[in-house]
């Protein structure tokens, strides 16, 4: 009979054959070259510096003159006792106030927080605060600090000013011209003796307590402008979703079209435009709303000549007036009067046409 091996012997033989098979399988890998074990030099850095990501020039003192194109940013609050704080005389500049404040204690007021001169294009000013010490209202101001917040001497092009707050300046808040490619957005101006914001396009901005003009632009959207003096609260060619207020001039004046707007004036015209759509104009002693054409509008006047004055057609409009003329229009279609005012129109269709 064949001799039967003990299980322990059988198991040892199995382990020997498995180890040999594994060694044969791995031997080609073991034969590959492993290279030198000593590094050729110290490992190179993999992190990038801030200058490698975005080369920016810090500003920590004022006055500061920007005479080379580039990106600049504030590293601290800046204060001056007279004159300009930051002057820009070259194109292709980004100035980031970085959340800091530029202030002046000049008495009497002088200079500008950001003064722009020369033939400027491709300019951005953003993200910070400008403070002066000017106080007052209406026609009476005590001018201390800066004369202007962001002020341009010439007509710049391709300029954007955003997220800037200006308060207490002797003349101008953010002042360019309407005849330029300048956009001002998400900015506020509080207390300026002359003009609040002037630019080609003004969006989502607020001006309060401006001695003359509140906000002026070719296109004004989503804004609020308040003049405490003899200027318009808002002046535009096209205005939308905006409200203006004035003492003796127009609360809101749009030479072309006003859509979803409100204008309020004490003695002037509340809202004045060529075409008024879904607007409201209110005046205490003047005309509430004056337009060439008006649709879905409301006009309110206490003692003015009329509440609603429309040279062309007033359609689906409402006038609020006790006594006197409520609506004075060429054609009045589906209009209503609240109060005892009358309707003066060569053609009147007070019901549904």
Read off φ and ψ for residue 6, nearest 5 degrees: -65, 155
d(CA 162, CA 147): 20
d(CA 223, CA 239): 9
DSSP 47: -
Among 178, 220, 186, 230, smallest CA distance to 206 is for 186
Q: Which residue has the tokens 């009147």?
A: 348
pLDDT in 10s for each residue of the chain, 353 residues? 445 555 554 445 544 554 444 433 444 444 444 555 566 656 655 565 555 555 899 999 999 999 999 999 999 999 999 999 999 999 999 999 999 999 999 999 999 999 999 778 999 999 999 999 999 988 799 999 999 999 999 888 999 999 999 999 999 999 998 888 999 999 999 999 999 999 999 999 999 999 999 999 999 999 999 999 899 999 999 999 999 999 999 999 999 999 999 999 999 999 999 999 999 999 999 999 999 999 999 999 999 889 999 999 999 999 999 989 999 999 999 999 999 999 998 877 655 43
Q: What is the pLDDT of residue 288?
A: 98
Among 64, 61, 56, smallest CA distance to 76 is for 61
Handedness of CA 53, 54, 55, 60 (dihedral sign): negative
| 177 contacts 155 by C-beta, under 8 angstroms | yes
How far CA 247 is from CA of 77, 151, 265, 292, 295, in Å, comes to 36, 26, 5, 23, 26
pTM of the shown model: 0.84
DSSP 98: T
Q: What is the pLDDT of residue 202?
A: 98
Q: What is the pLDDT of residue 23?
A: 39
* Residue 349: Cβ within 10 Å count: 14
What tokens were used for 116?
Answer: 């722009």
Domain residue ranges in the chain: 52-231
């Amino acid at each position: 009979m064949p001799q039967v091996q003990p299980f322990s012997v059988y198991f040892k033989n199995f382990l020997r054959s498995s180890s040999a098979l594994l060694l044969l399988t791995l031997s080609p890998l073991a034969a590959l070259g492993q290279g030198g074990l000593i590094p050729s030099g110290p490992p190179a850095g993999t992190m990038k510096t801030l200058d490698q990501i975005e080369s920016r020039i810090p500003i920590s003192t004022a006055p500061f003159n920007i005479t080379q194109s580039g990106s600049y940013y504030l590293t601290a609050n800046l204060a001056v006792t007279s004159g300009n704080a930051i002057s820009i005389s070259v194109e292709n500049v980004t100035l980031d106030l970085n959340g800091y404040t530029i202030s002046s204690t000049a008495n009497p007021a002088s200079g500008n927080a950001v003064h722009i001169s020369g033939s400027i294009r491709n300019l951005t000013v953003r993200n910070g605060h400008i403070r002066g010490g000017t106080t007052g209202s209406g026609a009476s101001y005590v001018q201390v600090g800066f004369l202007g917040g962001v002020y341009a001497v010439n007509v710049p092009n391709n300029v954007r000013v955003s997220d800037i707050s200006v308060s207490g300046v002797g003349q101008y808040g953010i002042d360019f011209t309407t005849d330029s490619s300048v956009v001002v957005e998400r900015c506020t101006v509080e207390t300026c003796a002359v003009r609040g914001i002037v630019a080609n396009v003004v969006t989502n901005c607020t001006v309060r307590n401006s001695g003359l003009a509140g906000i002026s632009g070719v296109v004004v959207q989503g804004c609020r402008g308040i003049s405490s003096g003899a200027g318009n609260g808002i002046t535009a060619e096209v205005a939308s979703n905006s409200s203006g207020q004035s003492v003796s001039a127009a609360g809101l004046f749009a030479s072309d079209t006003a859509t979803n707007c409100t204008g309020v004036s004490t003695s002037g015209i509340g809202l004045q435009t060529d075409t008024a759509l879904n607007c409201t104009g209110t005046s205490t002693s003047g005309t509430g709303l004056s337009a060439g054409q008006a649709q879905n509008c409301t006009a309110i006047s206490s003692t003015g000549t009329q509440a609603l004055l429309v040279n062309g057609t007033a359609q689906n409009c409402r006038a609020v007036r006790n006594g006197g003329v409520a609506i004075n229009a060429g054609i009045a279609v589906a209009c209503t009067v609240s109060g005892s005012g009358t309707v003066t129109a060569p053609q009147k269709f007070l019901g549904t046409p």
